[in-house]
């Protein structure tokens, strides 16, 4: 009798539910359902008041409603008996967070707070906490906080405590009234295992080591930053951890609880079905790509790119967005690095030139490495790893009166490849081995040219993840693991991952030996103009010489 | 009884003839006539053989034929009696040069040489002499030649001796057979005063101090580079000056001779009509813009830009393309500086984006200084003054996912303004006063936005030249001067210039005080990323801060 696990994959606009056979990872059913309110970035649904341009909120009821629809639909498609569902995994965008009461009720659903924007869940891309992020970083650097090095030296604008601090500064009554601030992934797990609200209790709240570690400066050994640190940031924040951060931390794959009866009937599932602790959506792509072993980098390539890896080694290096023990899979140090702009930079070019991806891809593929003399810097949305600087911007260098759009397009692809290479070099230079590469996300299947350039620039073989839904599949795998070996038959986590997902053996990009020296030179140029000791003019001269020598 | 002078303006595609009233500069008639063969850059008209991509040749008979048509047509329109024409001035593209026999016959018109491409006149933009230019510069630097400093330290690819040396290397039989190598402007003056060929004689050949000074490393005090220098470049070149450079040097405005009978009947003019020594087309724009006094910079703004100025001061500075005594007007040191890509960079953007100048201009005019965070480097065709480096290229910095084409367009205009500012700073820093600015050429009338930005960035008032044909008008003024004071009534050259041309008093762009500090900061950024001690990343950060502070 086949058994199944479910992946609940909460994205920015919708939730997707996957019903997966735990024996081989076959997807037996799937469905997605958009959130009724989508991203709330123009006006508040209640008061219709205009929101500032850097605001991005969500409606918590949407998550439950859309989940119910998608789950029932996926189960119906799969024709699976709820009794054959052994476990559930949940991935969620992060840091998407909200203030709630001790019974699980989001503050924004209470009459008293429903017209206050900062009482609503802040989506990951809510950018209202600029001043607070600055202060949080300044004080951490002044005090030389030891945890800062785990985040490459910089706390991000989109993270957890900047969003709390913003609430304290701009809506102190919300801060006061909140019994707890929590990640949306943790809130969702809490709701389906203990609720839904108002049936929950903070005594039974679990939090994911993934979300807490990558976005909340939490660490298994030392916990959150100290009372003294928070007091130095702002005296009113001194007790934030004691007062607002209740909850026990569990790593993804560990069981947070079983489905509550009320939630089971909401979802059409069996009460008591084990639910794994949540995971950040991108990080779920690691098990979802079938990567169980350390030192294999999973590159999730999309509008932006996120590169994750488990390692036995703990080393801190500049610009790594986070190093978290048990952050992705238990037993390993999980590394997260990223590029802030990849597919969306290509989309900018397509839109700005009024051309199509197809045309540009086709013409770009005819060009040699180096795009006939054009070099791009890919920081159209700032640089994440390794410089951690949102103020950096994109650039094109090497333009002449004969430069064509396809040169700019290929140069942008090459620039993002140099960006990955820089990340890998940074990790290796720090002593973190990076041995294998698996690509997932939307771009690999769309652009063989991009994959070949990445393989050439890295001078490494790159396998493609099998599923085009590796994030949701990863959640389902974590659900299977949470069910435990006696139910699933998998003694080791790695067995479950290898059985349910695997990189494709038949679709592997290998580096072209002929291009190796060319891309080495171009990468040097990219580093010299994007680094801190290069000059633009010098790079231009070398670039031109390079172009002339290779055309 | 009104008197007239004629301007013969030889451009790249056509010759224009202006009939001008010497009392007030009124244009009584004008006509232009395209060269039958235009620019010969694909195949030789005789043998149909393909030309290399960097070749650009012309047909010398075209110059005479088109001149005859245009001159007769302009005189017919003006209804002027040839006896009332007091003088003729000739401006020509430069360095456009050719090998000829002692009787004036171009080698390419002889059966023996007509199928050899390098026997044909090389147009200014013929770029076949790359290796030769390198050698000419290397040897000059090794030998620390004193004349090198007059050219900002670099001899250009398009200049006279590189083109001779190319001929020697690739068509030695042409070099051998040539009795003389000369500028097309000097050849034309020779033809109409002594010929046409084969009636000429090198004994009666005059050469312009302008062409010789700016393009032939010639100097009134020291002549051409020494025999020792040329021998060091290549032993076969040792006697090039003695053997191939016959001719007496005359400054523009001095009479080279009177129209020969044969040429007078070809042109429908009076034999004996005085003809001025030739001048380079761009330089002719100085008198043509009505600028008679020193320290006034004449900016000729077109596809590329050329900035010329007369000065009482002789100072050498990096990247000034030439400092030539009597080079533009007698009695002054003539300075030439330039920007290799201006209007053609705008045209590149228009073509690449498939938009119109009108749309981009309109939208760009709505943007603040700094183009909302985008900075361009305008070296789409290399940098002339001050870096003298054809290998430099264009760049855009500060790009984001929201960058629009009009930002790039305005950034390019601003970049060319920063380029002018850098030239002016370079001259002033060297101790050469620059006090007033007059703009001419095709761009000023087309783009008020550009003119306002130039005034703002220079923080100087800019007058527009009255005539949109200041180059041809300048030639006519030189023709008037060559006729002498007893005929024209002008005791001083400056009187003739002021009477026949003047900058417009009613169209003056004045700097906006509100923009001064902004453009100072942007200019600093432009210098820091385009100079040799800046870093791109640092500039990006500052640029972003600037943008945020001003938007």
**Residue in A348, A354, A533 nearest the CB of B401:** A348
**Is B147 an 8 Å CB contact of chain A?**
no
Question: What six digits make up the tokens of A266?
Answer: 């909401």
Strands of B286-331, DSSP E: 296-301, 305-311, 322-325
Q: Which residues of A touch B403 (CB under 8 A)?
A: 348, 352, 380, 394
Q: Report the CATH superfamily, name and number, of domain A291-465.
A: ATPase, nucleotide binding domain (3.30.420.40)
**Is B541 an 8 Å CB contact of chain A?**
yes
- CA dist A138 and A140 (Å) reads 5
Contact B536 A543 (CB under 8 A): no
Q: Tell how far CA B66 is from the center of its chain.
A: 21
Q: Chain B closest CA to A126's CA: distance in Å?
A: 17
Q: Would you say the ipTM is above 0.95?
A: no
The pLDDT assigned to A252 comes to: 95
Contact B405 A377 (CB under 8 A): no
Is-contact A70 A32, C-beta < 8 A? yes
Contact A395 B394 (CB under 8 A): no
Closest A-chain CA to B387 = A537
The pLDDT assigned to A373 comes to: 85
The pLDDT assigned to B391 comes to: 74
Q: What is the pLDDT along chain A (551 residues), one digit of tens a residue?
A: 789 999 999 999 999 999 999 999 999 999 999 999 999 999 999 999 999 988 999 999 999 999 999 999 999 999 999 999 999 999 999 999 999 999 999 999 999 999 999 999 999 989 999 999 999 999 999 999 999 988 888 898 999 999 999 999 999 999 999 999 999 999 999 999 999 999 999 999 999 999 999 999 999 899 999 999 999 999 999 999 999 999 999 999 999 999 999 999 999 999 999 999 999 999 999 999 999 999 999 999 988 999 999 999 999 887 787 899 988 988 899 999 999 899 999 999 999 888 899 999 999 999 999 898 889 999 998 888 888 877 788 999 889 898 999 999 999 999 999 999 999 999 999 999 999 999 998 899 889 999 999 999 999 999 998 877 889 999 999 999 999 999 999 998 999 999 999 877 788 999 999 998 889 988 988 887 776 555 665 555 565 565 566 44
- CA dist A392 and A386 (Å) reads 12
**Is A531 an 8 Å CB contact of chain B?**
yes
Q: Chain A closest CA to B542's CA: distance in Å?
A: 9
Closest B-chain CA to A544 = B391
Q: Chain A closest CA to B376's CA: distance in Å?
A: 9
The pLDDT assigned to A314 comes to: 92
Cα angle, residue A183 at apex, residues A181 and A185 outer, rounded to 5°: 140
Q: Chain B closest CA to A124's CA: distance in Å?
A: 18
Closest B-chain CA to A389 = B541
Residues 209-228 of A with CB under 8 A from B: none
The pLDDT assigned to B551 comes to: 47
Cα–Cα distances in Å, from A145 out to A150, A160, A229? 10, 17, 8
Q: What is the DSSP string of A244-282?
A: H---EEE-TTSEEEEPPHHHHHHHT--TT-EEEPPEEHH
Query: How much is the CA Rg of chain A, to the nearest whole Å?
Result: 23
Q: Chain A closest CA to B531's CA: distance in Å?
A: 7
Contact B535 A538 (CB under 8 A): no
- CA dist A212 and A330 (Å) reads 14
**Is B370 an 8 Å CB contact of chain A?**
no
**Residue in A352, A396, A531 nearest the CB of B395:** A396
**Is B356 an 8 Å CB contact of chain A?**
no
Contact B535 A540 (CB under 8 A): no
The pTM score is 0.85
Q: Tell how far CA B191 is from the center of its chain.
A: 22
Q: Which residues of A touch B537 (CB under 8 A)?
A: 387, 392, 530-532
**Residue in B380, B400, B543 nearest the CB of A400:** B380
Q: Chain A closest CA to B382's CA: distance in Å?
A: 8
The pLDDT assigned to A284 comes to: 94
Cα–Cα distances in Å, from B545 out to A129, A393, B535, B540, B549? 18, 12, 16, 9, 6
Q: Which residues of B touch A379 (CB under 8 A)?
A: 540
Q: Chain B closest CA to A337's CA: distance in Å?
A: 20
Q: Chain B closest CA to A100's CA: distance in Å?
A: 35
**Which of B203, B274, B321, B319 has the alpha carbon at shortest distance from B487?**
B274
The pLDDT assigned to B449 comes to: 97
Question: What six digits make up the tokens of A250?
Answer: 């569990």
Question: What six digits make up the tokens of A336?
Answer: 């997260």
Q: Chain B closest CA to A301's CA: distance in Å?
A: 17
CATH code assigned to B4-282: 3.30.420.40
Contact A531 B538 (CB under 8 A): no
- CA dist B153 and B149 (Å) reads 5
Give the number of other CB atoms < 10 A from CB of residue A264: 17
Closest B-chain CA to A545 = B391
Contact A534 B529 (CB under 8 A): no
Give the number of other CB atoms < 10 A from CB of residue B111: 7
The pLDDT assigned to B547 comes to: 56
Q: Do domains B4-282 and B291-465 have the same CATH topology?
A: yes
Tokens 């950096």 — which residue?
A392
> Mean pLDDT by 10-residue block, N- to C-terminus, for chain B (551 residues)?
95 96 96 96 94 94 98 97 98 97 98 97 93 96 94 90 98 98 98 95 96 95 96 98 96 96 97 97 92 93 92 87 88 92 94 90 94 90 83 87 94 97 95 95 91 98 86 96 95 92 86 92 84 58 57 47
* Neighbour-count burial of B382, counting CB atoms closer than 10 A to its CB (0-12 exposed, 13-18 middle, 19+ buried): buried
- CA dist B252 and B324 (Å) reads 12
Contact B531 A537 (CB under 8 A): yes
Question: What six digits make up the tokens of A252?
Answer: 């993804």
Contact A541 B354 (CB under 8 A): no
Residue A301: strand pairing partners: A305
Q: Which residues of B touch A404 (CB under 8 A)?
A: 352
Contact A540 B354 (CB under 8 A): no
CB pairs under 8 A between A and B: 127
Q: Which residues of B touch A395 (CB under 8 A)?
A: 395-399, 536, 540
CA dihedral B476, B480, B482, B487 (to 10 degrees): 160
Q: Which residues of B touch A341 (CB under 8 A)?
A: 401
Give the number of other CB atoms < 10 A from CB of residue A235: 9
Contact A397 B393 (CB under 8 A): yes
Q: Chain B closest CA to A355's CA: distance in Å?
A: 9
Domain-by-domain residue ranges, chain A? 4-282, 291-465
Mutate: best of A383, A536, A543, partner B, most B CBs <10 A: A536
The pLDDT assigned to A236 comes to: 97
3-state DSSP call for residue A550?
Answer: helix
Residues 324-353 of A with CB under 8 A from B: 341, 344-345, 348, 352-353
């Amino acid at each position: 009798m086949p058994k199944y696990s479910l992946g609940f994959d909460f994205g920015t606009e919708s939730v997707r539910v996957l019903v997966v056979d735990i024996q081989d990872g076959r997807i037996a059913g799937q469905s997605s359902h958009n959130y009724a309110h989508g991203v709330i970035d123009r006006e508040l649904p209640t008061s219709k008041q205009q929101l500032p341009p850097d605001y991005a909120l969500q409606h918590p009821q949407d998550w439950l409603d859309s989940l119910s629809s998608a789950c029932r639909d996926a189960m119906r498609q799969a024709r699976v008996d709820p009794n054959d569902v052994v476990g559930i995994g949940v991935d969620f965008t992060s840091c998407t967070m909200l203030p709630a009461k001790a019974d699980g009720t989001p503050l924004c659903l209470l009459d008293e707070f429903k017209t206050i924007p900062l009482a609503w869940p802040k989506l990951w891309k809510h950018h209202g906490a600029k001043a607070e992020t600055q202060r949080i970083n300044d004080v951490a650097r002044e005090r030389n906080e030891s945890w800062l090095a785990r985040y490459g030296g910089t706390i991000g604008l989109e993270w957890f405590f900047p969003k709390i601090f913003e609430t304290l500064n701009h809506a102190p009554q919300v801060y006061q009234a909140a019994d707890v601030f929590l990640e949306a992934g943790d809130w969702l797990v809490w709701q389906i295992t203990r609720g839904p609200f108002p049936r929950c209790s903070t005594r039974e709240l679990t939090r994911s080591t993934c979300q807490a570690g990558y976005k909340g400066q939490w660490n298994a050994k030392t916990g959150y930053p100290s009372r003294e640190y928070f007091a130095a940031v702002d005296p009113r924040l001194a007790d934030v951890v004691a007062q607002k951060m209740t909850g026990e931390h569990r790593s993804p794959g560990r069981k947070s609880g079983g489905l509550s009866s009320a939630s089971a009937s909401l979802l059409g599932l069996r009460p008591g079905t084990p639910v794994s602790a949540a995971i950040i959506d991108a990080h779920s792509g690691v098990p979802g790509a079938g990567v169980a072993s350390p030192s294999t980098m999973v590159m999730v390539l999309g509008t932006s790119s996120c590169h994750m890896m488990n390692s036995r080694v703990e080393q801190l290096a500049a610009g790594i967005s986070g190093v978290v023990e048990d952050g992705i899979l238990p037993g390993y140090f999980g590394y997260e690095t990223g590029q802030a702009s990849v597919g969306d930079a290509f989309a900018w070019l397509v839109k700005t030139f009024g051309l199509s991806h197809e045309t540009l891809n086709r013409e770009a593929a005819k060009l040699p490495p180096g795009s006939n003399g054009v070099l791009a810097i890919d920081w159209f949305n700032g640089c994440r790893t390794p410089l951690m600087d949102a103020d950096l911007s994109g650039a094109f260098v090497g333009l002449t009166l004969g430069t064509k759009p396809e040169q700019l397009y290929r140069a942008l692809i090459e620039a993002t490849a140099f960006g990955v290479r820089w990340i890998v070099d940074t990790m290796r230079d720090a002593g973190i081995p990076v041995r294998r590469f698996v690509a997932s996300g939307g771009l690999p299947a769309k652009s063989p040219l991009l994959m070949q350039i990445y393989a050439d620039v890295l001078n490494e073989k790159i396998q493609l993840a099998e599923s085009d839904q590796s994030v949701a599949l990863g959640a389902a795998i974590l659900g299977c693991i949470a069910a435990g070996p006696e139910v699933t038959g998998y003694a080791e986590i790695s067995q479950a991952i290898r059985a349910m997902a695997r990189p494709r053996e038949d679709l592997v990009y290998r580096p072209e030996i002929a291009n190796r020296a060319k891309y080495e030179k171009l990468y040097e140029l990219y580093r010299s103009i994007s680094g801190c000791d290069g000059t633009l003019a010098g790079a231009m001269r070398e670039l031109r010489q390079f172009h002339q020598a290779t055309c």
